[in-house]
Structure 1
Amino acid sequence: MSKTNAGNFFEDFSVGQVIKHATPRTVTDGDVALYTALYGSRFAVQSSDSFAHRIGYRKAPIDDLLTFHIVFGKTVPDISLNAVANLGYAGGRFLAPVYPGDTLSAVSEVIGKKENSNGRTGVVYVRSTGYTSDGTEVLDYVRWVMVNKRDPGSPAPQPVVPELPAVLDPSALGNAAPMLDLAHWDNELAGSRFRFGDYEIGEKIDHVDGMTVEEAEHQIATRLYQNTAKVHFNQHTEGRGRFGCRLIYGGHVISLARALSFNGLGNAFHITGINGGRHVSPLFAGDTVYAWSEVLDAQEIEGRKDVGALRLRLVATKNAPCTDYPFKGEDGKYANPVVLDFDYWALLPM
C-alpha cells in the first residue's frame, strides 16, 4: 500500500462528502511581512497597528486575501492536486478579522459535480470554510475546479450543479469588522480622502499602475500558502503540457489586482464578501498586470453608521493598460487582455 498521496481525481468525489484538511497553520508576523513584500498592499488598517487600534481593532488584522489564500491552500491537496484549472468563486463571506498568532484550519463539503463532454475531466463544486483554533468561522466560499479523471472510460455520474447566489446581501456582511471610531480615521494616513459617499454607481476607476509577475515571486507566494497544485510548481511536467510552462496561481492575480486598486480605492479597507470571480485566461511569469474597477452598487448596512459597502467589479488585464476599460466585446466574450473578473463587496468609512 502506497504511503504517498496522489490526490483525488474526479471519480473520487461524491456530493455530500465532507473533507477535513491538513494542516492547521498559525499565521505569523513573518507571513504578513512576506505578503506585503510580494504584493505591496498599502491599506492602512492592515498595515499599521496604531491606525487599526485607534479605530477599534485590537491591532492590525491580516489582509483579507491572505486569510483567503491560507484557507484555500489547505484545500488544494484534497481538492485540486489533479486540477486542470480553478474556474471560479461565489458566495464568499469574510466573517471575522484574523490576527497574527491565530491558527487557521479548513473543512470542505462537495456540493456538486459534473463530467465534461470530453470525458477526460469534470467540474467539482466545493464549499470551503476556514476556522480559527477556538472554532470561530472566519471565511467561507464556494469554488469550482476542473479536475482530471483517473480513468477516462469510467461512467459519467449524474450531474449535480448547485444553485449559487449571484450577489450576497450586504446587510449580512457587516460583522466582519468591529464598530469603528471614525473620529480617529485619518484620511491622510489612510492615503485617500474618498469615502463611501464619494463613489457613484457606474463609476470606473483606472488604477493606473502595472506590476510584472516574476517567476520567483509567484513560486514563493504559492509556497507561502502551502498550495501544492502541480500546475504551479512542476516545470518538468508542465513544460510538456498545453502551455509549456507553469501557470500563475489565480489567487496571486487577485492579490496583485487588489493591491493595485489602492490607487483610487485607498479607503476600501476590507473585503467583506465575494459575489463571484472568474479566471478568464492564464497568466505567466513575465506578464504585467494592470487593473481597473467599476462601482456596481453602494449600500448602507443596517445597524451601522460607521461603514458602507461598495460592490466592486475588479478587472485585471495582462500587458495592456486599462485606459479603455477593456472588458467584453459585442459578442459577450471577454476582451483578449482580460485575465480576471472579480466581483466583491468592500467596506469603506462613511
Structure 2
Amino acid sequence: MTKTNAGRFFEDYSIGQVIRHAVPRTVKMGERALYHALYPARHALYSSDQFAQDCGLPFSPLDDMIAFHVVFGKTVPDVSLNAVANLGYAEGRWIKPVWPGDTLRSESEVIGVKQNSNGKTGVVWVRTRGLNQHDELVLEYVRWVMVRKRDVDAPAPETVVPELNKVVPVGDLVIPKGLDFTKYDFDLAGEAHRWGDYEVGEKIDHVDGVTIEEAEHMMATRLWQNTAKVHFDASARPDGRRLIYGGHVISMARALSFNGLANAQMIVGLNGGAHANPCFSGDTVRAWSEVLDKAETDGPGVGAVRLRLVAVKEGGSFDLKGDDGKYLPHVLLDLDYWALMPV
C-alpha cells in the first residue's frame, strides 16, 4: 500500500471542493532575516520597528511577500504538485498584517475546471485563503494552474470558468488598522517621491540587476515549503534544468523596485499576474514598473497606487509583447498590484 502523496491530478478536482492544506507554519523574525538575505529587500516599513511605529503600527510586520509565499507554499502538494504551469493570479488581497509569532495555514476552494483540447491536461481555478492562529483571514487570492490528467481516457468534467475581476476595486482594499502616513519620514524611507509625484502611464526603470543562483533559489523554495518537483529535481524536466520558483522572481523584482518606488510600502492587492517565460539559474533579473492608476483611501496620509511590475532577463527597453500579442522571450513576470504610498 502506497503511503506517499502523489498529488492530485486533473480528474481529482470538483467544483466546490475545499482542501485544507498541511502543515501550519509559525513565522518569526528569522523568516525576515533570511528573506532580506535572499533578496535586496529594504522597504522601511518592513525593516524598522521605529519606522513602523511612527506610521501608526505597533511594530514592523513581516514582509507582505513572506505571507504570500508561506500561504502559497502550503497549497503546492494539493494544487500544483502535478502542474504543468502556474498560469495566473487574480483577486488577491492582503487583509491583515502578519506579525512575528503568527501561525499561518491555508485552505483552497475549487472554483473552476476546464479540460484542454489535447485531453491530457486541464486548467483548475482555486481561491486560496491564508488564516492565522485566530482563524482570521490574512490573505486571499485566486490562481489557476494547468494540471496533468492521471488517465487521459477519463471523461471531461463540465466546464466551469469563473468570472474574475480584472482589478481589485479600491473600496475592497484593506488599510491596516492604525496605518498613518501623515508623519512619514521620507529621508529614512530612502526617497522623496510621494503619491502625487507619480503620473499614470509613467514607466520606471529600476536599473539594478541580480543574477539568480541555484543554491539561493532552492533555499528560498525550501523556506516556503514549496514541494514542486520541477524546482528541485533536475530529472523532472526534459531539458534537465531546475525551474526557478515564480515567487522567487516576484520577490526579486519587488525588492529591485525599491529604486524608484521606495515609498510603495505595502502591497495590499493583487489584480493579476503571469509568469511569462521560465527563469533558470544564471539568468540576470532586472525590473521596471508602469503606473497604471492612482486612488485616494480613507487612511490618513495614505494613497493607493496601481503598478505593473515587469521582470526581465535582459535590460534596456520597456518592450513587453510582440506584434502577435505574446510575451517577448526575455519577459519573465508581468504582475499587476496595488500598493500603499504616502500622499
Report the TM range for the smaller structure's normalisation: over 0.9
> What is the CA–CA distance in structure 2 between the aligned matches of 1:202 and 1:188, rounded to whole Å?
26
Q: 1 CA distance for matches of 2:192 and 2:309?
A: 21
State whether residues 43 and 262 of structure 1, in contact with CA within 8 Å, keep that contact through their aligned partners in structure 2: yes
Contiguous gaps of at least 5 residues in structure 1: none
Do residues 122 (structure 1) and 117 (structure 2) align? no
The residue number in structure 1 matching 2:321 is 328
Q: How does 1:196-211 map to 2 (within 5 A)?
A: 196-211=195-210
Contact preservation (8 Å) 1:180, 1:306: yes
Q: What's the counterpart of residue 153 of structure 1?
A: 153
Per the alignment, residue 37 of structure 1 pairs with 37
Distance in structure 2 (CA, Å) of the matches to 1:252 and 1:22: 22
Q: Does 1:312 align with 2:303?
A: no
Q: Report the counterpart of residue 284 of structure 1 in structure 2.
A: 280
Secondary structure at the counterpart of residue 218 of structure 1: helix
Find out whether 1:212 has 2:205 as its counterpart: no
CA contact (8 A) 2:180 2:299 kept: no
| SS class of match (2:218) | helix
Question: 1:5-59 CA deviation, whole Å, 9 max, x = no partner?
Answer: 1111111111100011111100011111001000120100001111111211111
**What are the superposed Cα offsets for residues 149-201 of structure 1, whole Å, 9 maximum, x if unpaired?**
11112111111111110011112213335331522x21111011001111000
Q: Deviations over 1:189-232 (max 9, x none)?
A: 10110011110000000000001100000000000000001111
Contact 2:181–2:300 (8 Å) recurs in 1: no
Q: TM-score, normalised by structure 2?
A: 0.98
Please give the residue correspondences for 1:1-350 in structure 2 after superposition, counting only pairs within 5 Å. 1-176=1-176, 178-183=178-183, 185-235=184-234, 237-238=235-236, 241-301=237-297, 303-318=298-313, 320-321=314-315, 323-350=316-343
- Aligned residue pairs total 343
- Structure 1 counterpart of 2:4, one-letter code: T
The code of the aligned residue for 1:276 comes to G
**Helix, strand or coil for the counterpart of 1:295?**
strand
In structure 2, give the amino acid aligned to 1:61.
P
The whole-number CA distance in structure 1 between the counterparts of 2:181 and 2:41 is 23
TM-score, length-scaled by structure 1: 0.96
- Identify the range of structure 1 (113-122 vs 138-147) with the bigger mean alpha-carbon deviation: 113-122
**SS where residue 192 of structure 2 aligns?**
coil
Q: How many percent of aligned residue pairs carry the same amino acid?
A: 62
The 2-side partners of 1:179 and 1:191 are apart by 19
Q: Deviations over 1:69-97 (max 9, x none)?
A: 00000111111111111111000000111
Q: Which 4+ residue blocks in structure 1 deviate beyond 3 angstroms? A: none
Inter-partner Cα distance in structure 2 for 1:174 and 1:8: 33
Q: How large is the RMSD of aligned CA atoms in angstroms? A: 1.1
Distance 1:144 1:339, change over 3 A: same
What is the letter of the counterpart of residue 204 of structure 1?
K
Aligned partners of 2:212 and 2:307: how far apart in 1? 24
1:48–1:60: 8 Å Cα contact kept in structure 2?
yes
Say if 2:88 and 2:145, in contact at 8 Å, map to a contact too: yes
Q: In the aligned structure 1, how far is the partner of 2:25 from the partner of 2:119?
A: 37
